[in-house]
Structure 1
Amino acid sequence: MINLFKSFNPLNILWLAILVFVLRMGYIAEAPDKLQFVFVEPFARLLLPVGYEYALSPFENVCLAGLVVLGQAVLLNFLVNKYNLLGRSTFLPSLMYVTVTALFPQFLILSAPLLCNFLLIWMLFKLFSFYKGDDAKSTAYDLGMIVALGSIIYLPYIYLFLAIWLGLVIFKPFNWREWISGILGYVTVFFFFAVFYYLNNRLGSFYQIWAPLGTKFPNSINIKYLNYLVLIPVIIIIGLFLFHFQKNYYKSYVQVRKSFQLLLVIFIIAGLSFYVKSQFSLTHFVLCAVPAAVFLAYYFAYASRKWFYESLYLLLLISIIYFQFNTF
C-alpha cells in the first residue's frame, strides 16, 4: 500500500476514501446508542441557542467525521507537496493522516479538535509563507484571527498562538510590528465577541472565558496503559523518521528544515495543551495528527526496504482495527 501512495496519482483519493471507511467499520459496529457532538465552547453557546448535540445518529456522526478527515487529508497533502517538504510529490501525507486519525475510537467521531484541524492546516499554509514573504504583518494578523476562531470552537487551541510567534522566530528576523499584529488579530475577533456579550447583557461573564487557562498541570492521569499499545508502531515509525531526517538534515533546503522545526513545535504545543479541559479526553490529541502525519510520511518517503516498511504499516493498520474491537 505504501508503494501505491508514493506515486502522485489522483486515483489515490479513491483508495483513501475506501481506507477511511475500512478504518471506521469496527467502531460503527460497536458504536454506542448516542454520540454527543459539541463544536463550540460553552461560552459561545449564545451564538447557537438551539440544541444540536445529539442531532446526528452515531452512524451519521462517524460518516461525517470520515468525510471531514478525507477533506483534511487532501488539504494536508496539497500543503506538503506545495512546500516540497518530502522532496517529491506523493500521497503519503494524506495516507498517514487518515491512518493517524483512526488510532483511537475517540478520533473517529466528530469533535471540536477534529474541526480545528482545518484551522491548523490553514495556519500552516500561512506560517510556511513567512519564509519568502517580505512583510508578514498582514499574515500574522490573519493568523491571530484564526487562533481566536479556533479558541471559540475549542479553548485549548489558544495555545497555538505561540506557533505564530515561534514561526516568526524561525522564519523571519525580529520585527515587533509583526509580533503585535498577531495579538491585534486575536483581539479583533474577541472584541466583536465582547460586543455580542454586551448586547445580551452578559458582559460580566465575558471575563470568565479564559478562567480554565489557570488550571494547574495535572500531576498524574488515570489511564489504562493497555489501550495505548496501538502507539507502539507509531513510536517506532517516528523513531525511524528522526533517524532518517537527521541524516538528511543538512542536505535539505533551509525552508524544509525550518518547516519541520515548526511542525515539531506545533506537535509539542498541541500535545501539552490538553490540561485546559478539566476532564481528560483522548479526543484532544487529534490536534497532533497533522504534524505527526507529516513525520510518518517523511519516513515512508525515504524508506528503502520494501518488505520492512510495508510490514510496519500493515502492523499499524492491524493494530488500529484490533483495538477498535478490543478494549481493556
Structure 2
Amino acid sequence: MILRFLKTNQAYHFVTIPLLVLILWFRAYLNPESFDFFAGEDQMLLFRPFAAVVKWSPLVANLLLIGQVLILTFFITRLNSVFSFIRQRTFLPSNLFVLILGGVVSMHGLHPVYFAAMFLLLSINRIFGAYEIKKPNSNAFDAGFLIGLGSLFYLNLIFYFPIVWIGFVLIRKNPGWRNFILPLLGLSIPWLYAFSYYFFTDTLADFGQTIQQNIFTSNNFLQGNLNFQIYLGLLILLTLIGSTFLIARIDEKKVSTRKYFQIFFIVFIISMAILLAVPAVSQEILVIMAIPLVFLFSNYLIFMRMQLWANVFVYLLLAMVIYMQFG
C-alpha cells in the first residue's frame, strides 16, 4: 500500500522525494511562468534579488524553487528526528508536505513565502530546543531573529512573532524576562538594518509603500476558483479528522510532545487569522499552514488502528492533487 511506502524511514526517500517534486512541478520547468505578483509583493528587501531572477528567467527561478522545496522537506524530517514528537522516525511528514504543495499549482513559481517557511521552521527548531535547557537565552534571541529575517522576504511572517513568546511560555516552566526581551531584540535587528539601508539610499518612502501594499492590497483569491475551493475544503476536512484523533489521545503523549503539538496548533491558528484579517494574504499562506498540518496528518495516519481508513485518506489526497494538476 502507498501509505506503507510513504511512512517508512528508508534512505530511498532521498531519491523518491525529489522525484515526486519533479513530477508534481512539471509545469514549472516544461512551461515556466512567473508568479503573478501584485504591486510590492516581490519588493521586500531580501527578496528583491530573487525577483530580478524571476524577471530574467522564470525557468531558473522555478528551479531555485524546486531546490527550496527540497530544503523544506529536509528541515521537516529533521525536526521530527531531533524532537521525536511523532515517536517514530518517518519520512511521511515530508512526503505529505510535497503532496499538499503539489496540489497548489498556482504556487509552483518562486515566491517569498517559501523563504518565510524556511525561517519559520528554523525558528520553531530553536523554540523546541529550549525545552529543559537551563539558560535558553540564545534560543530566545535566535527564534526572534529568524522571524525578523524571514519577514524581510515575506512581510506577513512578522505576524508569527507571537509564536515565539507563546512557545516559551509553553516550553518553559517559569520563563524569565529575557525569554521575552531577547526575541524582540532579535526581531528588531534585521529591521534596523533594513531601515538603515532605506534611510541611507533615501528610499524610506518606497519601503513604507511596499509594507502598505503587502498588507492592504485586496486579494480575492477564492472568488471563481472552484477547484481550489474544493481542495481547501478537503484539507480542512482532513484537519478536523486529524485534530479530533489527536485530542482524543493527547493524554497518551509525552509532556514535551503535547507542548510541541500545542505550538503547531498556534501556528495553524495564526495562519487562519492572517488569512482572514490581512487583505493581501492569499493562497501562499498554505505553504506555511502545511507545516503544522503535515505533522498532524502524520500522527493520524501512523497511529490510527484501522489502516484501511488511513490508506483511503492518502488515496483521496493523492487523487485530488493529481486532479489539481489538470483541473
Q: TM-score scaled to structure 2, two decimals?
A: 0.86
> Structure 1 residue 303: deviation in Å?
2.6
Q: Which moved more, 1:196-205 or 1:259-268?
A: 196-205
Distance (Å, rounded) in 2 between the aligned partners of 1:155 and 1:198: 19
Within 5 A, what are the aligned runs for 1:62-101? 62-101=62-101
Is the 1:215–1:275 contact (alpha carbons within 8 Å) kept by the matching residues of 2? no
Give the AA of the match of 1:324. Q
> Structure 1 residue 32: deviation in Å?
6.5
Give the AA of the match of 1:191. L
Is the 1:156–1:274 contact (alpha carbons within 8 Å) kept by the matching residues of 2? no
Is the 1:148–1:190 contact (alpha carbons within 8 Å) kept by the matching residues of 2? yes
> Structure 1 residue 164: deviation in Å?
0.6
Give the AA of the match of 2:264. L
Distance (Å, rounded) in 2 between the aligned partners of 1:211 and 1:137: 33
> Structure 1 residue 124: deviation in Å?
1.3
> Structure 1 residue 119: deviation in Å?
0.6
Within 5 A, what are the aligned runs for 1:50-61? 51-58=52-59, 60-61=60-61
> Structure 1 residue 166: deviation in Å?
0.7
Is the 1:143–1:182 contact (alpha carbons within 8 Å) kept by the matching residues of 2? yes
**1:33-76 Cα deviation digits (max 9, x unpaired):** 55468998535279749933322234x44443222212211220
> Structure 1 residue 292: deviation in Å?
1.1
1:194 equivalent in alignment to 2:195: yes
1:313 equivalent in alignment to 2:306: no
Is the 1:27–1:324 contact (alpha carbons within 8 Å) kept by the matching residues of 2? no
Is the 1:36–1:53 contact (alpha carbons within 8 Å) kept by the matching residues of 2? no
Give the AA of the match of 1:4. F
Is the 1:27–1:105 contact (alpha carbons within 8 Å) kept by the matching residues of 2? no
Name 1:165's counterpart in structure 2. Answer: 165
Name 1:295's counterpart in structure 2. Answer: 296
> Structure 1 residue 299: deviation in Å?
1.0
Name 1:115's counterpart in structure 2. Answer: 115
Distance (Å, rounded) in 2 between the aligned partners of 1:45 and 1:21: 27
Within 5 A, what are the aligned runs for 1:208-287? 210-211=211-212, 215=216, 222-274=223-275, 278-287=279-288
Q: Which moved more, 1:5-14 or 1:121-130?
A: 5-14
Give the AA of the match of 2:301. F
Is the 2:127–2:167 contact (alpha carbons within 8 Å) kept by the matching residues of 1? yes
Q: Which runs of 5+ in 2 are unaligned?
A: none
- Structure 1 residues 220 and 32: CA distance shift in structure 2, 3 A: closer
**1:183-207 Cα deviation digits (max 9, x unpaired):** 1112222222222223223356666
Distance (Å, rounded) in 2 between the aligned partners of 1:223 and 1:140: 43
Number of equivalenced pairs: 324
Is the 1:274–1:284 contact (alpha carbons within 8 Å) kept by the matching residues of 2? yes
Q: What secondary structure, in the 3-state scheme, does the structure 1 residue paired with 2:228 have? A: helix
Q: Which runs of 5+ in 1 are unaligned?
A: none
Give the AA of the match of 1:21. L
Is the 2:126–2:139 contact (alpha carbons within 8 Å) kept by the matching residues of 1? yes
Distance (Å, rounded) in 2 between the aligned partners of 1:73 and 1:191: 31
Give the AA of the match of 1:123. S
Q: TM-score scaled to structure 1, two decimals?
A: 0.86
Distance (Å, rounded) in 1 between the aligned partners of 2:198 and 2:320: 47
- Structure 1 residues 269 and 34: CA distance shift in structure 2, 3 A: closer
Q: Which moved more, 1:210-219 or 1:93-102?
A: 210-219
> Structure 1 residue 110: deviation in Å?
1.6
Q: What secondary structure, in the 3-state scheme, does the structure 2 residue paired with 1:8 have? A: coil
Q: Which moved more, 1:228-237 or 1:4-13?
A: 228-237
- Structure 1 residues 321 and 216: CA distance shift in structure 2, 3 A: closer
> Structure 1 residue 280: deviation in Å?
5.0
Q: What secondary structure, in the 3-state scheme, does the structure 2 residue paired with 1:9 have? A: coil
- Structure 1 residues 199 and 320: CA distance shift in structure 2, 3 A: same
Is the 2:215–2:281 contact (alpha carbons within 8 Å) kept by the matching residues of 1? no
Q: Which moved more, 1:31-40 or 1:200-209?
A: 31-40
